[in-house]
Structure 1
Amino acid sequence: MIDMATLFTIVLMAGVTYLTRIGGYVVLRNRVLSPRATAVMEAAPGCVLISVIAPAFVSRNPADLAALAITLVAATRLSMLPTVLIGVGAAGLLRHFIG
């Protein structure tokens, strides 16, 4: 059974994530963005993904390095969502089997 503190933490994290996502729409709903601002907003998800996987570049864990290589190959061929799913799946499976 899941610990109540863990469940509470997960629910709060999900809520904060949702609020940050919806907050951007609420704040910017009546504004027209410049082409530069639009480009920044479109590049933001890629920047977040890079900040998440960047520590794997300096890892000595073979599972992390293999998952990073798989993710980089996927990123050259697929869109963002499949790349993220493949990267997370590869990391989970490789950490389970390789350690």
Structure 2
Amino acid sequence: MPVNVWIIFAAAVVTYATRVGGHMMLSRMRSIPPRVDAALNAVPAAVLATLVAPAAVSNGSAEAITLAVCLVIGLRLPMMGMFAIGWALVVALRAWGL
């Protein structure tokens, strides 16, 4: 088998093991400690930051402006509203050449 297949298989096994291991560990606890709960609540924001930050830094001013606007309107509007406005804004700014 090619090396790529083994790499994909190994990544799948490691991903599965971490998910099952985390579930098994948390299922054995009677209650989740506050620090673990706080860490688990921070995961979605951390993942979103790792996906969004490179776009703001490496793409251009249209993306940076859109991210700044979405940061502000995200505090006031529901998530789908923020996504819709952000999408429309980045399309408009790219059309204007920013």
Instruction: With the length of structure 1 as denominator, give the TM-score of the two structures.
Output: 0.52
Change (3 A) 1:45 1:60: closer
**What residue identity is the alignment partner of 1:46?**
A
Structure 2 contact 67–86 (Cα < 8 Å) conserved: no
- Matched with 2:23 is 26
Unaligned runs of 5+ in 2: 1-11
Please say which structure displays the higher CA radius of gyration. Answer: 2
Instruction: With the length of structure 2 as denominator, give the TM-score of the two structures.
Output: 0.53
Aligned to 2:75, the other structure's residue is in SS state helix
Percent of paired sites with the same residue: 28
State how far apart, in whole Å, the 1-side matches of 2:43 and 2:89 are.
23
RMSD: 3.5
Unaligned runs of 5+ in 1: 1-15
State how far apart, in whole Å, the 2-side matches of 1:63 and 1:89 are.
11
State how far apart, in whole Å, the 2-side matches of 1:51 and 1:83 are.
22
